[in-house]
């Protein structure tokens, strides 16, 4: 598309946008009586306008039904997670039986590693991306130590080539093949939190399986952002948080995926709990764990109804929007337009004040654009916030901006570019 760096062009794009109406389904934070241009959905999504009502219904059920709310009411709490499973599955390309809302991301990652990291005397190593989000690093370090191995020996990190910021798929695949005889697990983020790179999950999975390893993904920055296909890509397991692109609120409930091919594998270890017991006989309170079929069998504690209600509010918006197809189509345009406006800023000031480190190819990125700001980078970020544009900051000099298709507009992107230009001229003076 031939973009134009004008307000009229941005407004025309918004008028033609089939998702524009969903912007009104969200509540924007304000500063000095004006709403923010909110470009921080990669960290915390906005509150759906319906969240208060949906949560209020469950608070009313608690008030009016108390313990009977588990079995009575419009959506009994006992089966509340089943309502969410049907809406979660299309977002991550899974069967409803393969997903379940539960716990939080890193708790789910640990539970999945109990089942799928099964080191043996020779085959005990894990391959992951260098610079993965710290929670993943800490989880793997602790799991490796739990099994009696040294993380320095057991964990292999694949780093970008010298002078580059993102990983090449060929390098990931080659590293997996090089360590095939010793590899137990491949664990990557779907999208790298720092650069915004969307890894070739299908190719990584195929390479991991060819090496005889199990393959899993942390989808914290991918679920609700890009159209992953967990089932069709034959990925073994995955987990994600729902409070970023899926707008479930701070500390919102996590999600878990287990491919159906593992449902009948009795050799898998798991840390069991009552809520994962076979639902039809759960209340017989018998000894001897019998798991509920599917991902539900990995549940431990009873459903977190209030966090699920907030997640449900957002999932209904995804359903109304047509799930990931329309969202992805707009995401490509919004992100490309943001990169275009940043390039226009550099052209206008006559030097490269901002370097985009997110992949240029639209198929290698989601909605996040990470830029290195030269000079007074923190000052640029602070001025953005002071003028009602809220992205987020990563040391030492990276600003992350994420135009989210459900609630951001092309006008948001244009105005952000105009503000960046103004700030850049001020800083240069």
How far is residue 219's CA from residue 241's CA, in Å, rounded to a whole number?
A: 8
pLDDT band for position 426 (cuts 50, 70, 90): confident
Q: Once rounded to an integer, what is the mean pLDDT over residues 16-37?
A: 97
Flag whether pLDDT at 429 surpasses 80. Answer: no
Tally of domains in the chain: 2
Give the end of a domain, one of 321, 355, 379: 321
Q: What is the pLDDT of residues 139-173, one digit of tens each?
A: 999 999 999 999 999 999 999 999 999 999 999 99
Q: What is the pLDDT of residues 244-276, one digit of tens each?
A: 999 999 999 999 999 999 999 999 999 999 999
Q: State whether 235 and 275 are in the same domain.
A: yes
Q: State whether 395 and 361 are in the same domain.
A: yes
How far is residue 229's CA from residue 150's CA, in Å, rounded to a whole number?
A: 34
Q: State whether 162 and 279 are in the same domain.
A: yes
* Tokens read off for 369: 């654009």
Q: State whether 305 and 329 are in the same domain.
A: no
Q: State whether 102 and 250 are in the same domain.
A: yes
pLDDT band for position 33 (cuts 50, 70, 90): very high
| Model pLDDT, residue 389 | 98
Is 218 buried (19+), middle (13-18) or exposed (0-12) by CB count in 10 A?
buried
In 149-266, the DSSP E strands lie at 155-158, 183-189, 214-218, 237-240, 255-258
DSSP single-letter state for residue 352: -
Q: What is the pLDDT of residues 323-336, one digit of tens each?
A: 999 999 999 999 99
Contacts of 97 (CB under 8 A, 6+ apart): 85, 260, 263, 293, 294, 295, 296
| Model pLDDT, residue 428 | 60
Q: State whether 157 and 269 are in the same domain.
A: yes
Provide the H-helix boundaries in 66-180.
80-92, 105-116, 134-146, 151-154, 169-178
Give the end of a domain, one of 301, 321, 341: 321
Q: State whether 327 and 300 are in the same domain.
A: no
Q: What is the pLDDT of residues 345-361, one digit of tens each?
A: 999 999 999 999 999 99
Cβ proximity of 115 and 237 under 8 Å: yes
Q: What is the pLDDT of residues 268-302, one digit of tens each?
A: 999 999 999 999 999 999 999 999 999 999 999 99
Q: How confident is the prediction for the chain on average, in pLDDT?
A: 97
Q: Once rounded to an integer, what is the mean pLDDT over residues 196-220?
A: 98
Please measure the distance between the N-terminal and C-terminal CA atoms of the chain and give it in whole angstroms.
Answer: 34
Residue 398 belongs to a domain with what CATH number? 3.90.1150.10
Residue 1, in any domain of the structure: no
Write out the residue range of the structural domain in which residue 336 sits: 7-35+323-428
Q: State whether 268 and 339 are in the same domain.
A: no
Residue 45, in any domain of the structure: no
Give the end of a domain, one of 267, 296, 321: 321
Q: State whether 271 and 346 are in the same domain.
A: no
Residue 168, in any domain of the structure: yes
Q: Once rounded to an integer, what is the mean pLDDT over residues 418-422?
A: 97
Q: Is 272 strand, coil or helix?
A: coil
Flag whether pLDDT at 38 surpasses 70. Answer: yes
């Amino acid at each position: 598309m031939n973009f134009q760096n004008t307000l009229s062009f941005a407004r025309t794009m918004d008028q033609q946008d089939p998702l524009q109406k969903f912007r009104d389904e969200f509540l924007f934070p304000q500063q000095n009586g004006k709403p923010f241009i909110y470009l921080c959905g990669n960290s915390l999504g906005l509150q759906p306008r319906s969240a208060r009502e949906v949560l209020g219904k469950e608070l009313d059920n608690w008030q009016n039904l108390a313990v009977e709310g588990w079995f009575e009411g419009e959506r009994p709490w006992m089966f509340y997670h089943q309502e969410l499973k049907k809406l979660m599955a299309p977002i991550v390309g899974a069967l409803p039986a393969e997903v379940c809302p539960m716990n939080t991301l890193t708790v789910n990652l640990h539970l999945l590693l109990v089942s799928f990291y099964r080191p043996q005397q020779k085959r005990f190593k894990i391959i992951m991306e260098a610079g993965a989000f710290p929670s993943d690093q800490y989880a793997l370090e602790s799991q490796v130590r739990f099994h009696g191995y040294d993380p320095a020996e057991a964990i292999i990190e694949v780093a970008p080539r010298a002078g580059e910021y993102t990983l090449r798929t060929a390098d990931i695949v080659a590293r997996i093949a090089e360590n095939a005889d010793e590899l137990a697990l491949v664990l990557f983020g779907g999208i790298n939190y720092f650069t915004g790179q969307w890894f070739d999950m299908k190719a990584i999975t195929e390479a991991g399986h060819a090496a005889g390893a199990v393959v899993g993904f942390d989808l914290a920055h991918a679920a609700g952002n890009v159209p992953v296909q967990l089932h069709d890509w034959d990925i073994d397991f995955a987990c994600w948080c729902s409070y970023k692109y899926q707008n479930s609120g701070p500390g919102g409930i996590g999600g878990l995926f287990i491919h159906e091919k593992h449902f009948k594998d009795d050799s898998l270890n798991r840390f069991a709990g009552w809520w994962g017991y076979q639902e039809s006989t759960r209340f017989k309170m018998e000894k001897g764990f019998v798991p509920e079929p599917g991902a539900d069998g990995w549940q431990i504690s009873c459903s977190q109804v209030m966090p699920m209600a907030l997640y449900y509010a957002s999932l209904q918006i995804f359903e109304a929007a047509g799930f990931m197809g329309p969202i992805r189509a707009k995401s490509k345009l919004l992100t490309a337009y943001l990169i275009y406006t940043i390039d226009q800023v550099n052209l206008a000031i006559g030097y490269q004040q901002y370097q985009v480190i997110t992949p240029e190819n639209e198929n290698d990125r989601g909605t996040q654009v990470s830029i290195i700001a030269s000079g007074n980078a923190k000052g640029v970020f602070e001025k953005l916030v002071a003028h009602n544009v809220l992205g987020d900051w990563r040391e030492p000099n990276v600003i992350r901006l994420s135009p989210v298709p459900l609630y951001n507009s092309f006008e948001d992107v244009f105005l952000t570019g105009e503000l960046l230009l103004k700030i850049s001229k001020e800083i240069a003076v």
